[in-house]
Amino acid sequence: MEILVISHKYPPSIGGMQTHCFKLVEELEKNHTIHPVIWKSNYPRGLFFLTVIFRVLIRLKRNPQIKCIYVNDGLMALICTPLLFLTSVPMYVTIHGLDVTFPSKFYQGWIRKYLNQYHKIITVSGPTTDLCLKKGVKPEKLTLIENAVDINFQEEPENPNFRSEFGHEIGANLEGKFLICSLGRAIPRKGFNWFTRNVYPSLPENAVYLVIARKFPQEKLFRWIQRLIPGRLFEKIRLLVGAEIDDTAVNDSIREMKLEGRVFYLSQFTHSRAKIFEIIKHCDLFVMPNIEIPGDYEGFGLVALEAASQGTLTLAANVDGIPSAVKDGINGYLIEGGNASEWSLKIRYFMDHPEELKASAQEFKTNTMTKGRSWDTMARRYAEVFSETPGPN
């Protein structure tokens, strides 16, 4: 089967949606022909949005055997709306969560009128499916295919010198420290700045917090836009494009609260997946401290499963679609989102009980690897959905 894939969420940018698209394409390529129309952060995203329809039409003309068009998220589906009328090739889209909650009357109207014209709408979790139904998506259009965790990922080897070597890289003494890390896009919903300001100060002196998040390439442009338009409008634009501008907030908090040498914003390692996993593997805890943001939504929480697969105990906020990925007491622990005291107590407990921390981490790793869903299985489910509706003769 020949499949055309359209996405603006793809490595080297990091995040669950980027990993989802990358691994899906990688697995589908083993048995199918993939025609990618994908933005890889190598030129302005706006230019990609402006030219994507034209590029897709050229691909379709040159490759008449393409059976279906797959769009990786709701914003991209919005941009690709003209294709619903310019081609008869069946179109499919994955909805991750935020892409149906965006607070705009125009956008919500588009969901009811045009998103329903896609042949199938694939959701990544039960809560995301419920959201789609509440927003007016027809139930017969919906298919649930939960995200996978990379159970076949090459686990990073143990490095007994990691702390001294990595400490040298970031200019810190990590010997005898309790390492806590987070990974994801630097946006308010991820809770990195909230955790830095509200949880970290209550932890013992030997705790070190590592935030692995890239520096937003278009940050200067967005700061310029922020100065020119009303705050509410800017927030809608930020939500729509997923602008990663919370790095400034984290770094400001580090400076204002005098946390230098204890909290680190690490953007320099985000281009290497192997390095990211090496850092996570050698940390004591992985935290996903999401907070609820109106109009924003975490659809699944894939990164929590990836951390668990590396043998690092995961603590995650019990908000949005995260409980679809993190099962409390099975592959991680769920903590009330925004409850700083509960987060602090849980982390302090594991700092005081290292043997229990180690045992739970190993148990949750085993559960993740044996009970998780492989990318191969997920990709086969996608291929089954793509083949349900016959393409043009």
**What are φ and ψ of residue 154, in 5° steps?**
-70, 110
Q: Using one digit for the tens of pLDDT, what is the confidence trace for 259-307?
A: 999 999 998 888 888 899 899 999 999 999 999 887 777 777 778 888 8
Q: What is the pLDDT of residue 349?
A: 97
Mean pLDDT of the chain: 88
C-alpha distances in Å from residue 77, one per residue of 99, 121, 131, 229, 369: 9, 10, 17, 26, 33
- Enter the pTM of the model: 0.71
Confidence of residue 392 (pLDDT cuts 50, 70, 90): very low
Judged by average pLDDT, the poorest of 41-45, 115-119, 161-165 is: 41-45
Going 106 to 112 to 113 to 117, the CA torsion angle's sign is positive
- pLDDT > 60? residue 205: yes
d(CA 357, CA 362): 9
Q: Which domains does the chain have, with CATH numbers?
A: 2-148+374-388 (3.40.50.2000), 162-371 (3.40.50.2000)
Q: How far is CA 233 from CA 23, 111, 225, in A?
A: 34, 20, 10
d(Cα 194, Cα 200) in Å, to the nearest integer? 9
Nearest to 283 by CA among 127, 112, 163: 163
pLDDT tens for residues 219-261?
Answer: 777 778 878 888 777 777 777 666 677 888 899 999 999 999 9
Torsion of CA 221, 82, 57, 87, to 10 degrees: 160
Percentage above 70 pLDDT, the chain: 94
**Cα→Cα distances 131→55, 119, 127, Å:** 32, 19, 6
